[in-house]
Structure 1
Amino acid sequence: MHHVRFVWTAIIVITAVILGAAGGTLAWMGGASAPNAVLAGAGGFTATVILLLAIAAFLEGARR
């Protein structure tokens, strides 16, 4: 069962990296300075990880 959690965690992190990079790029293209664009990307990454882990935990609890 732990290998399934590992796969889901990898999918969540990859998705968060893509969305964080997209958020940072869009912020930079929108006129934000480079440090502010990095912060925007980091915020997008963090929010995505938290949201998807919360959804995964909710679905895991519903399955038991």
Structure 2
Amino acid sequence: MNNIRGLWVAMVVTAGLFVALAGGVLAWLGGTSVPLSILAGAAGFAGFVGLALAVMTFLTRAQD
């Protein structure tokens, strides 16, 4: 997995963008202002990417 780590990170970031978009749109549809919706999306992105990279690190170290 070490030789394709960059591909995995790119996939995690791409999935994080979808999470951020969904979170921001749902917050906006719920009546939140646009700036707060952007912050909600950013928080979703940061949380998802952080958790996914932590899980990825754990799984790759478990194989070594």
Is TM-score (shorter-chain normalized) higher than 0.5? yes
Stretches of structure 2 lacking an aligned partner (at least 5 in a row): none
Q: For 2:39 and 2:5, locate their aligned partners in 1 and report how far apart those are by CA, in whole Å.
A: 28
Partner residue, 2:14: 14
SS in 2 for 1:17: helix
Q: 1:28–1:18: structure 2 CA closer, same or farther, 3 Å change rule?
A: same
Counting only pairs closer than 5 Å after superposition, residues 1-64 of structure 1 correspond to structure 2 as: 3-64=3-64
Alignment coverage as a number of residue pairs: 64
Provide Cα deviations, 1:39-61, integer angstroms capped at 9, x if missing partner: 00000000010000000000011
Q: Could you state the TM-score of these two structures normalised by the residue count of structure 1? A: 0.95
Provide Cα deviations, 1:6-37, integer angstroms capped at 9, x if missing partner: 11001000000000010000000000000000
CA displacement at 1:2 relative to structure 2? 5.1
Q: For 1:3 and 1:44, locate their aligned partners in 2 and report how far apart those are by CA, in whole Å.
A: 28
- Tell which has more relative contact order, 1 or 2 (C-alpha 8 A, sep 6+): 2
Identity of aligned residues (%): 44
Stretches of structure 1 lacking an aligned partner (at least 5 in a row): none
